[in-house]
A = this chain, B = another copy of it.
Amino acid sequence: MLTISQRGQEMPPSPIRKLVPYAEAAKKKGIKVYHLNIGQPDIETPLAIMDAVRHTAIKVLEYSHSAGNESYRRKLVQYYKKAGIDVNYDQILITTGGSEAILFGFFTCLNPGDEVIIPEPFYANYNGFACAAGVKVVPITSNIETAFALPPIDDFEKVITPKTKAIIICSPNNPTGYLYSRKEMEALKAICIKHSLYLFSDEAYREFCYDGEYVSAMHLEGLDQHVVLMDTISKRYSACGARLGALVTKNKAVYDSAMKFAQARLSPPGLAQIMGEAAIDLPDHYFDAPKAEYMARRDLLVQRLNAMPGVFCPKPGGAFYAMAKLPIDDADKFCQWLLESFSYKSQTVMLAPATGFYGTPGLGKDEVRLAYVLNLESIGAAMDCLEKALEEYPGKTALKLATASSKR
């Protein structure tokens, strides 16, 4: 009998995309859906980098070097220097999105059955890449009450086994927006050195830090051999569809091994590399406008959420996500209900249930992630919907309702 592989069966479907059919049905009914469910920014891709593609003189769109065009990698050295990261072009491997960098990291550093520790809630697709590579994800829990700060190092110590090979962090974080402090980064460094662990650092949101100092894993002294930086231009330049990322490491053995996986797939996308190269020439002040825009959205979103009875949303320090605790029974049900059974002035809002971001079953049932990737007016309208929805939702929780009543 023809069978599907074990990993094919165990592979988790996207927790964010499973609600899409309900959103489509709502739209067919004429309801406007505000998409706060997915990290797809509405910020325009910089004209200069789209124009670089429009004006390309390419006659034959050839394979690039498997590590990416040398010209692009050499320009990225300048980019990283500005971020305080000192690397050579031959320590940068261009990948197909940050996704491929994560997959290459798993392939290269972990055997099937090995374990990777990830503070939860975490980017749900780490689960998928771990499943593809046969790696076991070991979550340790961070809490909304502390704004999702790094869990105590003792929590890491408790779950470390001989099979633990790496820790994955993402700062500023998706889904929480939390920005790790230097102290937290130093604590991670200490434990990586103590237990000989790789530190996989997903720095997709580097440019979007609003409060506090940005600390890259590559800023940590003495950790060079441990750090595998996973990067992408998706969020930085609002170019998610380009599929262009990078794996950056000073560990030559890791680089050389990842390079073999890169050779098998021949090369990263060619047109995207033209965009990536043009992006390095954007003026330094390019990020000022999107950053100011995201901060204004964050401030509005957080203020509106916390003004709703029974809702708690810690202010995120970076990225463009916020996690909120809602007075509801079940975030998955609630998010589906928003699309299926609710509307306010013919509008509703699509959110991401937080359950998909936790590795521990049962956690996140009263939390949702909101991506502030829409303009202020839309965020305002979406918050109007959410406020109304929380009044009407049949599964609102009694305890929270009490709090809510007392706030009123």
Q: Is the CB of A62 within 8 A of B253?
A: no
Q: Is the CB of B264 within 8 A of A14?
A: yes
Q: Is the CB of A8 within 8 A of B66?
A: no
Determine whether A367 belongs to the interface, using a CB cutoff of 8 Å to chain B: no
User: With the chains together, A237 CA to B44 CA distance in Å?
Assistant: 30
Q: Is the CB of A243 within 8 A of B264?
A: no
Annotate A246-276 by CB proximity to B: 1 below 8 A, 0 otherwise: 0000010110011011011111111110010
CB interface residues, A 72-100, toward B, < 8 Å: 96-97, 99-100
Q: Is the CB of A270 within 8 A of B251?
A: no
Across the interface, which residues of B come within 8 angstroms of A272, CB to CB? Answer: 269, 271
Q: Is the CB of B11 within 8 A of A260?
A: yes
Q: Is the CB of B269 within 8 A of A241?
A: yes
Determine whether A313 belongs to the interface, using a CB cutoff of 8 Å to chain B: no
Across the interface, which residues of B come within 8 angstroms of A4, CB to CB? Answer: 108-109, 253-254, 257
User: With the chains together, A242 CA to B127 CA distance in Å?
Assistant: 28
Q: Is the CB of B257 within 8 A of A99?
A: no
Across the interface, which residues of B come within 8 angstroms of A62, CB to CB? Answer: 40, 240-241
Determine whether A6 belongs to the interface, using a CB cutoff of 8 Å to chain B: yes
- Point out which of A59, A100, A225, A226 has the most chain B C-beta atoms below 10 A from its C-beta: A59
Across the interface, which residues of B come within 8 angstroms of A99, CB to CB? Answer: 264-266
Which of A49-57, A138-146, A332-340, A394-402 is the interface stretch? A49-57
Given A257-B11, A263-B14, also A243-B96 (CB < 8 A):
yes
Q: Chain copies in the assembly?
A: 2
Q: Is the CB of B111 within 8 A of A7?
A: yes
Q: How distant is A42 from chain B, measured CB to nearest CB, in Å?
A: 7
Determine whether A13 belongs to the interface, using a CB cutoff of 8 Å to chain B: yes
Across the interface, which residues of B come within 8 angstroms of A263, CB to CB? Answer: 13-14, 17, 125, 128
User: With the chains together, A100 CA to B73 CA distance in Å?
Assistant: 23
Across the interface, which residues of B come within 8 angstroms of A108, CB to CB? Answer: 4-5, 8
A243 and chain B: residue at smallest CB distance? B269
Q: Is the CB of A264 within 8 A of B125?
A: yes
Across the interface, which residues of B come within 8 angstroms of A7, CB to CB? Answer: 107, 111
Across the interface, which residues of B come within 8 angstroms of A286, CB to CB? Answer: none
User: With the chains together, A107 CA to B112 CA distance in Å?
Assistant: 13
Determine whether A198 belongs to the interface, using a CB cutoff of 8 Å to chain B: yes
Q: Is the CB of B128 within 8 A of A260?
A: yes
Known: A14-B263, A97-B266, A112-B112. 7 other contacts (CB 8 A): A8-B257, A8-B258, A40-B63, A63-B241, A99-B266, A103-B265, A241-B267
List the 9 closest pairs (A to B, CB-CB), nearest first: A128-B264, A241-B270, A8-B257, A14-B263, A99-B265, A11-B260, A61-B241, A269-B269, A271-B271
Q: Can you give 12 contacting A-B residue pairs, CB < 8 Å?
A: A3-B109, A5-B107, A5-B108, A8-B107, A9-B257, A11-B264, A12-B260, A13-B260, A61-B240, A128-B261, A128-B265, A242-B271
